[in-house]
Amino acid sequence: MASIRDFLPLPVRRRAGRWRRTLLASPAVASRAFSVLTSGRPQVGPAVFYGMPRIPGLGEQTHGGMVKIQRMQAAFPNSPREFDTLYLVSSCVPEGAAAVAWVARRRGRRVVWNQNGVAYPAWHGPGWEETNAALARLLRAADHVLYQSEFCRRASDLFLGPPSGSWEVLHNPVDTTVFTPGPQRPQRELVLLLGGTHNQRYRFESALLTLARLVHGGVHARLLVTGHFGWGGGADDAAADAARLVARHQMEAHVEIVGPYAQEAAPALLRRAHVLLHTQYNDCCPGLVLEALACGVPVVYSASGGVPELVGEEAGIGVPAELRWDEPVVPNAEALAEAVVGVREAWPRFSAAARTRSARFDLAAWIARHRSVFEAARR
């Protein structure tokens, strides 16, 4: 006997089947979708739901897209039961987000999608098409898309396709009242900082080779390394490999492995450094770069991805890199070392310019823009 489903268009039947499998496979997602289905609209707003029942507090250790949601929650608390906007971030998509977004839209809620990077062979490896397919579904389901940089928009258009709704470029923010310059750094030792999540070996090795060239050139330098090691077989294997690389280049006396840290410890760590050494290729819109700028720390970086949009011409020196999607273009260590020396020779000027540049990305303006977007959902 035919059912209503049999009379639906094939794309709709496929989508319904995919979501049905998702809901049956995960009671948590099913519960979340049912919660959205039975949710109400708030009397006052805007009210925002981030697609997950709980968001880590500001003092809890996290990274990536969740840091943005932590900041958002301070201004717009997570509201799973009464909301007018579902806000999702591509770098920390909750399980079953497509099903939750579909239900939210059917209930008249607006979906806002924050688009970071996309998957491509140079960093993702096998399966990048499947990852992009999931992102593309959510991008097209959004009423409004916020691209984290112009580079993010171009990459998204290429690999995910254009959005269905309205869009804009809104770079990530930095709280310039928290990330501030510290006391004058001692000049007897040049301190470089390498941060972020090190999922690719070249990021650490490139920084290490840069350090070695500086030291062998007579510069008294130290490299602070923060964040997770994650290449190869996992964190332990990567950390062991990093230690072997340090020993191979005889840099044990010049490298300090700090490791992961809570966001509240970030300003003090950045104030220890003279230069942020950002070796990641095609990084989309790294919050670490913005935090460094706000602390008066100039940036030496791979001039790729969205980083040039953040640093500009005055707050650091970039090492040119061609745009490729099939493999990363590893920044040349000799060129990085020359850039570090160039920043060192005019450090007060670069430091002041970094702090000035950070005002373009102030958190208060970022929150205000989100408020305008969210208020539009209530009209």
Predicted TM-score (pTM) of the model is: 0.88
Which class is 4-173+363-376 in CATH? alpha beta
| Ordered mean pLDDT values, 10 residues apiece, the chain (379 residues) | 46 56 57 60 81 80 78 90 93 89 89 96 92 96 97 98 97 97 86 94 97 97 95 90 96 95 90 97 96 98 98 97 95 97 96 98 97 84
Residue 7: the pLDDT is: 42
Tell me, letter by letter, the H, E, C secondary structure of the chain.
CCCHHHHCCHHHHHHHHHHHHHHHHCHHHHHHHHHHHCCECCCCCCCEECCCCCCCCCCCCCCCHHHHHHHHHHHCCECCCECCEEEEEHHHCCCCHHHHHHHHHHCCCEEEEEECCCCCCCCCCCCHHHHHHHHHHHHHHCCEEEECCHHHHHHHHHHCCCCCCEEEECCCCECCCCCCCCCCCCCCCEEEEECCCECCHHHHHHHHHHHHHHHHCCCCEEEEEECCECCCCCHHHHHHHHHHHHHHCCCHHHEEEEECCCHHHHHHHHCCCCEEEECCCCCCCCHHHHHHHHCCCCEEEEECCCHHHHHCCCCEEEEECCCCCCCCCCCCHHHHHHHHHHHHHCHHHHHHHHHHHHHHHEHHHHHHHHHHHHHHCCC
Domains 4-173+363-376 and 190-361 share a fold: yes
Residue 184: the pLDDT is: 81
Residue 1: the pLDDT is: 46
Residue 2: the pLDDT is: 42
Residue 27: the pLDDT is: 58
Domain topology for 190-361:
Rossmann fold (3.40.50)
Residue 95: the pLDDT is: 86
Domain boundaries, the chain: 4-173+363-376, 190-361
